[in-house]
Structures are given as C-alpha cells and as structure tokens.
Structure 1
C-alpha cells in the first residue's frame, strides 16, 4: 500500500485526505492507511504546505482566481489556515492576474453594453475572482 501511495505521489502532489480516499477506494483498511500515511508524512513525502504553494502558483498561472483556488484546495482536504498561508503572498498579484485573464479573453476594450458586461463578469466569476475586483476591471463607461 505504501508503494501505491508513493506511486501516486510521484505522479503529482496529493493531500493526505486525497491519498486516504484513493487508498480506501482500492480496499485498504483505514488503520493501515493511517499508519502508511503517517510514515510518508514523517519522511516528507506528504507535505501539504508544499502542495498548497505549488497548486496556487500553477492555478494562478492558468488564470484562476483566489476564490476558486481556495475552494479546490478545501476539496482536496487542506486546512483553511494552510490554504490562506499559500494564498497570502500573492495577494497583491491577483488584480494583475484578473486584468490579464480579462484582456486575453476579451481584449482591452471595455464592454459596450449591459449584456456584454454581464457575460464578462460571469466568466471572471467562474474563474474565481471576487466581484469587487471584477467591477474595477470591467470599468463601465460613464
């Protein structure tokens, strides 16, 4: 079982809860899973802080916002404080990321009407950016 867990970790980083779920789905006993994951964590093979940092950087690079990334990391089973520590250093970079995502998708011109404004706002919300930041980027013409 430990070999399988290492194999999964070699493919990509996993949270402890993710690994436990995958191993349980393959029929291993919960006590055995916990013991194996404890050993892997002790030797540094499972490092949820490292996972969170890499995941945030990767997803930000693909144009996803902090709200979506936060939700995805929570789904993986990471604790809220760990997620917040991974997101915090990039706090000042989110507006530039949002503007870049918007400009790549829609160009630098502001929306021409309410329908276009709504379409852009929905797209950016689905990407995980906060509403107030979206409003600043879309800058409705006066």
Structure 2
C-alpha cells in the first residue's frame, strides 16, 4: 500500500510540475486533497526539491514575471507569495532579479486604465488611487504618479 501510494504521489507531483511551477505548500495542499498521507507527501516533495525539480524560488520568479506582465504592483505580488508560504528571502530575491521599474509600471497601468488626462476633481483622483492601491502599488508610487500627470 505504501509503495503504491508513494508511486502515485510521485506521479501526481510530476504531473503538476509538468504543467507549471508550484510552491511546496501548493503541492502539499493538492496532494492532501487527494487523500494522501501527509508524511509521505512531504517526503516525496523533499526529494523533488533535492533534485531541483521543484523550487520555491522558480515558483516566485514565475509569479513575479506573470503578475508584472499583468500590471500588478509589488505589494499584491508579495501578498500572493506569502499566501503560498514562500520564504521572505526568496520573495526578495525573485523581485530583485527582475529589476522592475515600479514607477514606470504604475504609469503604464494608469495610462491604460485612465488615459493621459489628469483627474478632473478630487473624487475622480480618489477613485484612481483606490484602483492603483488595489492593484498593489504603494502610496509613494501613486503620489509620484500624480505629479507626473
């Protein structure tokens, strides 16, 4: 039973990782949802990590690239990676490696959503700020953007 279950876990992990990168936590949750024993799952995932087949750093890099391409800010990316239980040092490394100009990104997102026109009044400006905060941009980035318009 255990040997067969171990093979099934290995197959499931291989299948998941062949589709896209997954965090350690995400893999564990998917395997537990299938009803596998936690100790076996952790052991198998560790083997994949030691063989450098599963990597939380690669997962974090993938998320950062993907979210930046969609116009998502640093705060929202960090929050998403924290929810996946990715270590803070790996998050820092993944973000630093991308060399992202956050001010340029917030400008691109704002122009795409609102055009090149400045806000006509205070409520309109607040609406824009809320949108950009929701997208994960900091108050400082949004304030610098306001001065660019």
TM-score by length of 2: 0.89
CA-based RMSD: 1.5
Residue of structure 1 in register with 2:78 after alignment: 70
1:67 and 1:128 in contact (8 A); partners too: yes
Corresponding pairs, count: 141
From 88, 96, 108, the counterpart of 1:88: 96
- Which residue does the alignment assign to 2:66? 58
Contiguous gaps of at least 5 residues in structure 2: 1-8
- Distance between the aligned counterparts of 2:11 and 2:148, measured in 1? 56
Counterpart position of 2:57: 49
Distance 1:132 1:58, change over 3 A: same
Equivalent residue number for residue 6 of structure 2:
none
Compute the TM-score of the two structures, normalised by the length of structure 1.
0.93
Q: How does 1:1-142 map to 2 (within 5 A)?
A: 1-90=9-98, 93-139=101-147
